[in-house]
A and B are shown apart, each in its own frame.
Chain A
Amino acid sequence: MEILAMHISNGIINGPVAAVFAAFALAVLTLCVLRGRRDLDDRLAPMAGLVAAFIFAVQMLNFPILTAGVSGHLLGGALAALLVGPWVGALCVAVVLVVQALVFGDGGVAMLGLNVTNMAILGTAAAYLLIALLLRVLPRTPAGLAVTAFVSALVSVVVASQGFVLQYWLGGTTDLGNNLTGLAGTMAGVHLLIGIGEGLITATTVLTVAKVRPDLVYALRALEPVAPATRVPVAGSAR
């Protein structure tokens, strides 16, 4: 057992299920490349590289959570979706997971499809659906953006954790004797606490970027509020 491993290790999920999720992840990431190209211009491409590098850095910063002896770390799906959009955002998280698996020995290479599905795909998709909803109904103020970032990040972490539960149900290597709900509850509870940390980090980072360069926040560019007349610029425009 590796105490430093942060993602699904080899042997936790059986080979066939891991292979199915690898194929699924590859198909969705291909779609992300096709759709993401519309967003990727000369300016967004290097920014997306920065987002990936930043997520890698912050994932190293395990923070303690209220439960004794347990830590959490950023997954990054909500942060990426807010800054560079859902398609490129999912690719950013996937790049981080690939580097971690192939270079840092974190997350089995055979388990890469499972990890990508949970954190890059499910986490980012859940986050962006909430971001699209909340940014349209909440006021365009720093507070509105902060709430959007916090809530979408928190929920995305719990959704990602339940992706693992589904995978364990399909191909877990240890018979839990019908105690899958126990695993689901443990995962949801601990990731709810981790989600608070994820929400705080995501909100702080996005608010900082929005203050310095609001034009670099994808979600603020792409998502128009329902009633444009009430639109208030977020923070002090740098221009």
Chain B
Amino acid sequence: MTKRNWGFLLGGLLVALLLAGVVSNYASSHPDGLDSSLLTGCTVNADGEITGGSCPAQRAEDHELADSPLADYGIRGMDNRFLSTGLSGVLGVLLTFALGGGLFWLARRRGPAGTDPAGTGTDPAGRDTGPAGHDAGQGAARAGSAG
């Protein structure tokens, strides 16, 4: 990681934190495409609860962790909705970065081929790793039999 890469990383994180921490409060609160499709055929009250009819969502159940402190993108017990949504977004961004970045860091390829000390951007292993049909198929079969 060069200085420039750190700069990009911190800049990107800042943008993500602003989006999740502030802009998220201006997001549409209407049900999303999946939810609205699943409610087609049912009548719904102002709280989004199904009141009648027949639709794919009518047997929906509560989430296993509906009582978790950050459930529904808010902080449990925090009355200020703006702060609650924003803070949960900030925590989510940091958590996702820590979990994802940490796992990717642990899984990364080490050794001479992976070093790019000059940070020139010329990936020594830059090659097409597209999911070529037969290749991916064989891989899936391997992974499947191993699992």
Contact = CB atoms under 8 A, between A and B. Distances in A.
Contact of A6 (B34, B40, B64, B120): B34
A41 B49 CA distance: 48
Interface stretch (A102-110, A138-146, A226-234): A102-110
Given A30-B143, A38-B125, A168-B56, A104 B88 contact: yes
A21 interface: no
Contact of A46 (B1, B96, B136, B140): B1
Nearest to A107: B63
Contacts of B32: 6, 62, 70-73, 194
A62 B27 contact: yes
B77 interface: no
A2 to B, nearest CB: 7
Given A34-B139, A42-B114, A223-B130, A88 B72 contact: no
Given A48-B104, A69-B30, A191-B33, A60 B16 contact: no
B33 A72 contact: yes
A61 B32 CA distance: 11
B16 A125 contact: no
Interface residues of B, number: 94
Interface residues of A, number: 105
Contacts of A72: 32-33
Interface string A39-64: 11111111111111111111011111
B97 A40 contact: no
Contacts of B17: 57
Interface in A213-239: 213-216, 221-224, 239
B147 A26 contact: yes
A49 to B, nearest CB: 2
B96 A8 contact: no
8 contacts: A1-B44, A27-B143, A31-B136, A46-B105, A52-B101, A58-B16, A64-B28, A72-B33
